[in-house]
C-alpha cells in the first residue's frame, strides 16, 4: 500500500521541491516514510523557527519555494514567527504539518500537541491554511498551493494532515500535477493609459519594489527609455546596478528625495507596498504631487497606502514589457545631472556611524565578489538599507523589512547557501539577534557550509537603548548580559575570531570561504568606531 504521506513526497518531487526543512517527531514520522527513496534532501534545523527562516532564505536566494515538515502543536507555534516574516515580505514557502486524528479534532480531550484549531492559528500568517480530510484531496490542494507560488502574490501556504489521513491508502490517487498557469498579464487599456501619462510627463520618477526583482531587465530598459530618476526599496536592491546614472538608491526616506517625489508630475511604482518598511518612512507616508501609476500582482495592494490614478494588476515583467512596447525613447533630457545633485545632497545627511557601516559592507563586497548578504535587525543593516548598493537582485535581504523579527539572518543564510552553493554567503547579525537562533550554528557545522558570519557586538539591544533615551524613557531591559559568543561559536565547532580593522576583516572573510564550515567574525562596536 502507498500511504498519503508517501504519495505527498512524489507530488512534491514533481512540483520541483528539492529541499525539506524539518525536525521529525512522533506525529510526523509517517511523512518521512517516502523520503528514503526520494531525491529530496532533508535538512534538520535545531528549532522549527529555524526551519521556517531557512525556507525563507532558500526562496529569496533562488526564487523557488522549499517545504517544511512540522510537528503538531509546538512545531506550528514555533514556526509562526518565520511565517509572519515570509508573509510580510511575500515569500513562497510550503509548510506541511500533522494534526490530531479526524475523530479527535477540536474535542479538547488533552491529546498530545493538541490545539483548539491549528488551521485558524495559521490562517492569518499564510495565503491559505487547509486541513486535508481525505487523501484524494491532496492533488487539488497542492495545485492550489503552487498556483499561489507561481501565479499570484507568493506567500506561505500551510497544509495540515490528520494522523489517520497521513497513513490512509493513496493507491488509487492519480499523479495529477498542475501545469504552470503563467502569470497574470496587464489590461491593454490600462497600459495605454499609463503610457499616455508617461509620454506627457516632464518630470517622471520610478519606484521599484521587491515585486520587480525578477523583472530587472525590463525595469532597467524602461527606466532608461524614460530617462527617469529611480528609487529602489530594500527588497529591490540590485535591479539597477551600483553607480547607474539614474539610480537614487534606496533613499526614499531622505528629505531631498521626498521633495523630488512630491515634485514629480508622474510616479510609476512597480511591485511595492509603499509601506513603511518599503519606504523607511516610519512617521509619515510618501506624498505624491502628481499622477501615480501602480503595478502589482496583488490587486488589493494597488489601493493600499496610496490610491493610484492608473492601477495595473499584473506580473511586473509582463506589464513593463507592455509599457516598453508603447513608449518610444524620450526626447526629454535624461535626469542624470539631477540624480547626481540629489545623491550629493543625500550623502551630506548621512552620519559618521552610517558611513562606517557602509565601509563594512563595501569591505564585504570587495573581499567576496558576488557575495549574497543576509542581514538581521541590527544597526549596520539599518544603515545598509539606506546606503548599500547590491550588485544584482537577490544579493541582499534582511529581517528589518516586513515583519521585522530578530534572529532571522543565521538560519536564512543557511537556506540561501543551500539554494546558491556556488556563491559566497555572508551574515550580518547583532549580539542580541544571534542569541535567538544561535543553535543553528550546529546545523551549519553539520552541513559543512562555509558561511561568513559578521557578528556586530554592541553588548545589548543598543538600537532600542538609544530609542528609549531619545524619548526620555528609562532604559530598562536593554543592557542584557552578553556571553562570550566566540567561545560559544568554537564550542559548536566554528572558527571564531575578533577583528580589529578593515584589512583584518577582509582577510578573515577570504579565509572563511575556504573552510568547510561557518566562521564567526566578531566586530566590537567600540573598536569599529576607530576604524
81 and 56 co-located in one domain: yes
Shared domain for 295 and 384, answered yes or no, is no
Report yes or no on 411 lying in a domain: yes
Is pTM beyond 0.85? Reply is yes
CATH code, 278:
3.40.50.1220
- Percent of the chain predicted with pLDDT > 90: 87
Q: Which domain holds residue 44?
A: 4-166
| Same-domain pairing of 482 and 373 | yes
Residues 241 and 325 in one domain: yes
Which phi and psi (to 5°) does residue 207 adopt? -120, 120
The pairing of beta strand 519-524 with beta strand 67-70? unpaired
The answer to whether residue 280 scores a pLDDT higher than 90 is: no
Task: Assess if residue 130 is contained within a domain.
Answer: yes
Task: Give residue 402's pLDDT.
Answer: 85
**One domain, residues 145 and 210:** no
Q: 209 and 323 share a domain?
A: yes
Residue 176 lies in a domain: no
Kindly state whether residue 180 falls inside one of the protein's structural domains. no
101 and 64: one domain?
Answer: yes
User: At which of 347, 370, 391 does a domain end?
Assistant: 347
Point out the least confidently predicted range of 104-118, 184-198, 390-404, 460-474: 104-118
Report the CATH number that the domain containing residue 372 is assigned in CATH.
Answer: 3.40.50.970
Model confidence pLDDT, tens digit, residues 37-96: 999 999 999 999 999 999 999 999 999 999 999 999 999 999 999 999 999 999 999 999
- Establish if 162 belongs to a structural domain: yes
The whole-number pLDDT of residue 135 equals 95
Tally of structural domains, the chain: 3
Radius of gyration in angstroms for the set of CA atoms belonging to the chain, rounded to a whole number: 24
pLDDT recorded at residue 168: 95
In a domain, 171, yes or no: no
Q: Are residues 331 and 440 in the same domain?
A: no
Which of the listed residues 166, 196, 228 is the one where a domain comes to its end?
A: 166
Q: Are residues 285 and 146 in the same domain?
A: no
Residue 224 burial class via C-beta count within 10 angstroms: exposed 0-12, middle 13-18, buried 19 and up: middle
- Is residue 317 in some structural domain? yes
Residue 316 lies in a domain: yes
Based on the domain organization, do 446 and 489 belong to the same domain?
Answer: yes
Do 212 and 121 sit in the same domain of this protein?
A: no
Q: CA-CA distance, 502 to 342, in Å (whole number)?
A: 29
pLDDT tens per residue across span 293-308: 999 999 999 999 999 9
Domain shared by 271 and 207, yes or no: yes
Q: How far is CA 510 from CA 268, 369, 506, in A?
A: 41, 10, 6
Closest of 125, 135, 20, 42 to residue 76, by C-alpha: 125
User: What's the whole-number mean pLDDT along residues 326-349?
Assistant: 90
Amino acid at each position: 500500500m502507498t500511504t498519503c504521506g508517501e504519495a505527498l513526497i512524489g507530488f512534491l518531487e514533481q512540483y520541483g521541491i528539492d529541499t525539506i526543512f524539518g525536525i521529525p517527531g512522533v506525529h510526523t514520522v509517517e511523512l518521512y516514510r517516502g523520503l528514503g527513496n526520494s531525491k529530496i534532501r532533508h535538512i534538520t534545523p535545531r528549532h522549527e523557527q529555524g526551519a521556517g527562516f531557512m525556507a525563507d532564505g532558500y526562496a529569496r536566494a533562488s526564487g523557488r519555494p522549499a517545504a517544511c515538515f512540522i510537528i503538531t502543536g509546538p512545531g506550528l507555534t514555533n514556526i509562526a514567527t518565520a511565517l509572519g516574516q515570509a508573509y510580510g515580505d511575500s515569500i513562497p514557502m510550503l509548510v506541511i504539518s500533522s494534526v490530531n486524528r479526524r475523530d479527535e479534532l477540536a474535542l479538547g480531550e488533552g491529546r498530545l500537541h493538541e490545539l483548539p484549531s491549528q488551521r485558524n492559528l495559521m490562517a492569518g500568517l499564510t495565503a491559505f491554511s487547509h486541513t486535508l480530510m481525505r487523501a484524494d484531496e491532496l492533488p487539488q490542494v497542492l495545485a492550489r498551493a503552487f498556483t499561489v507560488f507561481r501565479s499570484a502574490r507568493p506567500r506561505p501556504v500551510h497544509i495540515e494532515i490528520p494522523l489517520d489521513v497521513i497513513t490512509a491508502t493513496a493507491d488509487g490517487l492519480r499523479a495529477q500535477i498542475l501545469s504552470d498557469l503563467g502569470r497574470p498579464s496587464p489590461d491593454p487599456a490600462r497600459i495605454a493609459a499609463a503610457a499616455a501619462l508617461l509620454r506627457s510627463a516632464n518630470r517622471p520618477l520610478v519606484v521599484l519594489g521587491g515585486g520587480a526583482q525578477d523583472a530587472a531587465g525590463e525595469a532597467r530598459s524602461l527606466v532608461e527609455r524614460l530617462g527617469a530618476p529611480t528609487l529602489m526599496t530594500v527588497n529591490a536592491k540590485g535591479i539597477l546596478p551600483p553607480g547607474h546614472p539614474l539610480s537614487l538608491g534606496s533613499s526614499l526616506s531622505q528629505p531631498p528625495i521626498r521633495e523630488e517625489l512630491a515634485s514629480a508630475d508622474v510616479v510609476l511604482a512597480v511591485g511595492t507596498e509603499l509601506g513603511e518598511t518599503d519606504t523607511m518612512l516610519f512617521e509619515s507616508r510618501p506624498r505624491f504631487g502628481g499622477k501615480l501609476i501602480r503595478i502589482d500582482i496583488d490587486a488589493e495592494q494597488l489601493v493600499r497606502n496610496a490610491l493610484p490614478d492608473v492601477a495595473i494588476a499584473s506580473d511586473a515583467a509582463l506589464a513593463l514589457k507592455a509599457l516598453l512596447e508603447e513608449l518610444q525613447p524620450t526626447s526629454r533630457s535624461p535626469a542624470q545631472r539631477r540624480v547626481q545633485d540629489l545623491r550629493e545632497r543625500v550623502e551630506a545627511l548621512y552620519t559618521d556611524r552610517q558611513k562606517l557601516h557602509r565601509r563594512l559592507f563595501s569591505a564585504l563586497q570587495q573581499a567576496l565578489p558576488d557575495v549574497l548578504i543576509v542581514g538581521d535587525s541590527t544597526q549596520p543593516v539599518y544603515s545598509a538599507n539606506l546606503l548599500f548598493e547590491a550588485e544584482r537582485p537577490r544579493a541582499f535581504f534582511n529581517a528589518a523589512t516586513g515583519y521585522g523579527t530578530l534572529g532571522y539572518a543565521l538560519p536564512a543564510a543557511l537556506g540561501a547557501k543551500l539554494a546558491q552553493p556556488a556563491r559566497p554567503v555572508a551574515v550580518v547579525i547583532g549580539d542580541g539577534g544571534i542569541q535567538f537562533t544561535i543553535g543553528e550554528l550546529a546545523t551549519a557545522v553539520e552541513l559543512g557550509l562555509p558561511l561568513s558570519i559578521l557578528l556586530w557586538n554592541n553588548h545589548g539591544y543598543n538600537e532600542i537603548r538609544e530609542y528609549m533615551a531619545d524619548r526620555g524613557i528609562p532604559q530598562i531591559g536593554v543592557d542584557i548580559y552578553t556571553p562570550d559568543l566566540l567561545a560559544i561559536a568554537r564550542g559548536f565547532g566554528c572558527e571564531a575570531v575578533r577583528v580589529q580593522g578593515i584589512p583584518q576583516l577582509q582577510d578573515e572573510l577570504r579565509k572563511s570561504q575556504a573552510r568547510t564550515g561557518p566562521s564567526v567574525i566578531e566586530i566590537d562596536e567600540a573598536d569599529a568606531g576607530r576604524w
